[in-house]
Amino acid sequence: MHSSIGLDGDFKVKTALERTKVEDIFSYEGCKVGRGTYGHVYKAKRKDGSDTREYALKLIEGTGISMSACREIALLRELRHPNVINLQKVFLSMSDRKVWLLFDYAEHDLWHIIKFHRAAKQSKKLVSTPTSMVKSLLHQILDGIRYLHHNWVLHRDLKPANILVMGDGAERGRVKIADMGFARLFNCPLKSFADLDPVVVTFWYRAPELLLGARHYTKAIDIWAIGCIFAELLTSEPIFHCRQEDIKVSNPYHREQLDKIFNVMGYPNERDWEDIKCMPEYSQMTKEFKKQNFHNLSLTKYSEKHKIKADGAAFALLSKMLIMDPTKRLTSDEALKDPYFSEDPQPTSDVFHGFAIPYAKREFITDDEEKEDPSKTAAAPSTVTIPSTAAGPSNDVSHNQRPAVKKIKLEPGQPGHGHDYHGHQAMHGHSGQSASSSSIASNNAGPSRNYPAQQQQPRY
Amino acid sequence: MAGNFWLSSHFQQWLFDRQDLIRERQEDYQVLTEEEYQKVMIFFANVMQAIGEPLKMKQQVIATATIYFKRFYIRNSLSSVDPLLMAPTCLFLASKVDEFGVQSNNRFIEVCRNVVKTKFGYAFQQEFQYRMPNIFECEFYLLEMMDCCLIVFHPYRPLVQFCQELGTSLDKKDQHQQDLILQTAWKTINDTLRTDICLLYPPYLVALACMQVACIILGKDFKQWFAELSVDIDKCVEVVKLILNLYDMWKTFDEKKEIPALLAKIPKPKSSPR
């Protein structure tokens, strides 16, 4: 340990006495519910029982105040909206230079919710995501994002795992947008975004302009991601699902992901997206893609195939969020005014609309499991038994894949990729290591693909 | 967060009135007069500016760091943490918040050493002795004392907006005056960082006051335009007075002569508890 110079001894003693220690206030041992490059998340309760609420404690990976921790704390300290995760307190542990963030506990997230419905669909149990719930979810996501955008904050990494939903309790069925670690101010870019985080948004939810090398993040990029989530809620399948092994992290251009988008949306023509010619990777794209390979494809066709009514309000709104040209995409303000939300059923503040919640509670991760033991016993009290299929179409870990590297720039001291543990299935691969996932499509005899395992733990 | 200042931690937790400041600084005012305290603050603001410039930090980052520094010493006496350690720590943290980040820790320390040696050698007997572990440790205390409030609002953005508004009210032939006022007022904002103004008044008011000072300096008269704004003119005048006071004090402030004696008055932190 370095000698502590410049700090007064009495000052250190005095502040140590005044400081509340996280371990004195909260019990959380053995209650880990999430693990990732970002750190650990624990389900916690107050030791003194002064309230019986559940909290989420996030222990930030590494020591000290990394740039992303810094941004996260700076922004969360200011943000306050019912649909944005609320930072209650920061605990700074001087002795080990650890940073803990305290949040309200959210029992569910869209990753698990969609997975539940997808499994039900595959086992022909037909528990489709209730249409009223989809609408309420989307409304609250848009409300939270509108707030962030009005405050000049971009999320940049919206995906189902980052959309939390509160379980039974005071805020039952309320959406909480989480994982703002990469959110940043963008009204005064001191540095171009591309220089800071070369790849940020998970590929499946990445807007086409990002894949074509756009240098600056925009609000429209978040809207695209919400459009993708909306589609996924409607069909229980990721709309732009893509294999991962070809991803080159350092390069924003991603042929396969673009191919995926064009296969749904059709090839972008310059009439609809005038500025596409100005995209840094435009020439690369024209070299690698042939327009004629994508003729007769459109979001309408995709929707028909997936039983989204093409004349319905949901599709009308979806098609305005998934517009290739970012300048033509809806804003969150416009989306919230869409007729979809004014026609019945109206969105509700409890997305479950008072119905019993069929989704399992989060399970605890033990440290043994973290060491890649895929079998696990649920330590969490579970009021609802979920169908066995809800654990995923396959329990064979090698068939699961992650969509993308969550975090490209690992802070020094962060664990390597293989350390990530992902709930029901132990995830061995990060992008570069997920070659085993190539069998994903052939593994499933059913009409649809295996559900891809990505971030399935709460990310606050 | 450039959203709503009135909902920000800056507004809700970090604006004070003069009496608050006097009370919080009681311990320091036992060894320094109010004016001496301000001179020490000016000196360390200069130290931060001098370290930030070779590191190519943006003015906004340096401004944020300067406010962090002031915030820390509102809550703590100058003897709790050596200001010479706190000054670079504030820059280090501010650079992460404003997303520039220091490019290299080694270079950061090297610049601190060089600047202290070449520009402020008159004030310090010793070389700059701190290394990154000291900065890291200090950073935790800084963050804790600021209650994790890292986003600071500055008058620069409102200034630009006000100048644009002023510009639209001007005749075509007078449009260039808008730029002149912007430039002069911008520098005046930098000067306000050498005072308590940023702890006492919201940034939009500081921006307007700096525009008024710019008008005085440039001999312009836009009374009509100011009058039409729905702002508390009295408060604005208070800020103008504080700025003019600073300029008055600067005329006679000889840093090289006065600072060593002032620093000597501040008790040094003791590494072990007394």
- Confirm whether A20-104 and A108-362 share one CATH topology: no
Q: How confident is the model at residue A199 (pLDDT cuts 50, 70, 90)?
A: very low
**Complex-level ipTM beyond the 0.85 threshold:** yes
Per-residue pLDDT averaged across A408-416, rounded? 33
Question: From the candidates A157, A179, A197, A222, which is the catalytic residue?
Answer: A157
Q: Mean pLDDT in chain A?
A: 78
Q: Mean pLDDT in chain B?
A: 93
Q: Which two tokens stand for residue A240?
A: 């732009």
Cβ–Cβ below 8 Å for B269 and A150: no
Cβ–Cβ below 8 Å for B2 and A152: yes
- Confirm whether B9-151 and B155-252 share one CATH topology: yes
Residue B97 in 3-state DSSP? helix
How far away is chain A from the Cα of B48, in angstroms, using its nearest Cα?
17
Per the annotation, the verdict on A157 as an active-site residue is: yes
How far away is chain A from the Cα of B219, in angstroms, using its nearest Cα?
32
Place of tokens 């205390």: B141
A275-307 per-position pLDDT tens digit: 999 999 999 999 999 999 998 899 999 999 998
**A-interface mutation test, from B150, B154, B268, B274, most A Cβ less than 10 A away:** B150
CATH superfamily, domain A108-362, is Transferase(Phosphotransferase) domain 1 (1.10.510.10)
Q: How confident is the model at residue B99 (pLDDT cuts 50, 70, 90)?
A: low
A76 in Cβ contact with A178 (< 8 Å): no
pLDDT higher for A176 or A427?
A: A176
Q: Which two tokens stand for residue B158?
A: 């409102």
Per-residue pLDDT averaged across B69-81, rounded? 97
A3-30 per-position pLDDT tens digit: 679 999 999 999 999 999 999 999 999 9
A207-266 per-position pLDDT tens digit: 999 999 998 888 999 999 999 999 999 999 999 998 765 444 567 788 889 999 999 999
Chain B residues whose CB is inside 8 A of the A19 CB are 144
Third-level CATH fold of A20-104: Phosphorylase Kinase; domain 1 (3.30.200)
B226-262 per-position pLDDT tens digit: 888 888 889 999 999 999 999 999 999 999 999 999 9
Q: Which two tokens stand for residue B191?
A: 């000067």
Which of B1, B58, B101 comes nearest A153 by C-beta? Answer: B1
Q: Any chain B CB within 8 A of the CB of A127? A: no
Q: Any chain B CB within 8 A of the CB of A74? A: yes
Query: Across the strands, what pairs with A60?
Result: A39
Burial class (CB in 10 A: 0-12, 13-18, 19+), B224: exposed
Which of A6, A13, A79 comes nearest B134 by C-beta? Answer: A6
Which of A77, A97, A185 comes nearest B9 by C-beta? Answer: A77
| Phi/psi-derived region of residue A423, left when phi > 0, alpha when psi is between -120 and 50, beta in every other case | left
SS (H, E, C) chain A: CCCCCCECHHHHHHHHHHCCCHHHHEECCCCEEEEECCEEEEEEEECCCCCCCCEEEEEECCCCCCHHHHHHHHHHHHCCCCCECCEEEEEEECCCCEEEEEEECCCEEHHHHHHHHHHHHHCCCCCCCCHHHHHHHHHHHHHHHHHHHHCCEECCCCCHHHEEECCCCCCCCCEEECCHHHCEECCCCCCCHHHHCCCCCCHHHCCHHHHCCCCCCCHHHHHHHHHHHHHHHHHCCCCCCCCCCCCCCCCCCCHHHHHHHHHHHCCCCCCCCHHHHHCCCHHHHHHHCCHHHHCCCCHHHHHHHCCCCCCCHHHHHHHHHCCCCHHHCCCHHHHHCCHHHHCCCCCCCCCCCCCCCCCCCCCCCCHHHHCCCCCCCCCCCCCCCCCHHHHCCCCCHHHCCCCCCCCCCCCCCCCCHHHCCCCCCCCCCCHHHHHHHHHHHHHCCCCCCCCCCCCCCCCC
Per-residue pLDDT averaged across B2-11, rounded? 87
Place of tokens 């066709």: A301
CB neighbourhood size of A184 (10 A): 24
Q: How far is CA A383 from CA A113, A232, A294, A386, A423, in A?
A: 16, 26, 48, 9, 18
The candidate with the shortest Cα–Cα distance to A420, out of A460, A362, A384, A370, is A370
Q: Is the pLDDT of residue A390 over 50?
A: no
Per-residue pLDDT averaged across B171-189, rounded? 88
Cβ–Cβ below 8 Å for A190 and B97: no
**A-interface mutation test, from B8, B263, B271, most A Cβ less than 10 A away:** B271
Third-level CATH fold of B9-151: Cyclin A; domain 1 (1.10.472)
pLDDT higher for A443 or B187?
A: B187
Q: Where are the domains of chain A?
A: 20-104, 108-362
Rounded to whole angstroms, the Cα distance separating B229 from A373 reads: 67
The confidence score (pLDDT) of residue A123 equals 84
Which of B81, B272, B274 comes nearest A6 by C-beta? Answer: B81
The confidence score (pLDDT) of residue A3 equals 65
Cβ–Cβ below 8 Å for B61 and A190: yes
The letter for the amino acid at B189 is I
Place of tokens 């001291």: A413
B194 in Cβ contact with B35 (< 8 Å): no
How far away is chain B from the Cα of A109, in angstroms, using its nearest Cα?
26
Rounded to whole angstroms, the Cα distance separating B133 from B89 reads: 11
**B-interface mutation test, from A70, A152, A156, A180, most B Cβ less than 10 A away:** A70
The confidence score (pLDDT) of residue A391 equals 32
Third-level CATH fold of B155-252: Cyclin A; domain 1 (1.10.472)
Chain A residues whose CB is inside 8 A of the B80 CB are 7-8, 11
How far away is chain A from the Cα of B96, in angstroms, using its nearest Cα?
5
A373-386 per-position pLDDT tens digit: 444 333 333 333 23
In terms of average pLDDT, the best of A35-39, A304-308, B13-17 is B13-17
Known binding-site residues of A for ATP equal: 58
Which of A7, A67, A70 comes nearest B138 by C-beta? Answer: A7
Q: Where are the domains of chain B?
A: 9-151, 155-252
pTM of the model: 0.83
Q: Is the pLDDT of residue A73 over 80?
A: yes
B113-152 per-position pLDDT tens digit: 999 999 999 999 899 999 999 999 999 999 999 999 999 9
Cβ–Cβ below 8 Å for B140 and A73: no
A350-371 per-position pLDDT tens digit: 999 989 999 999 999 887 665 5
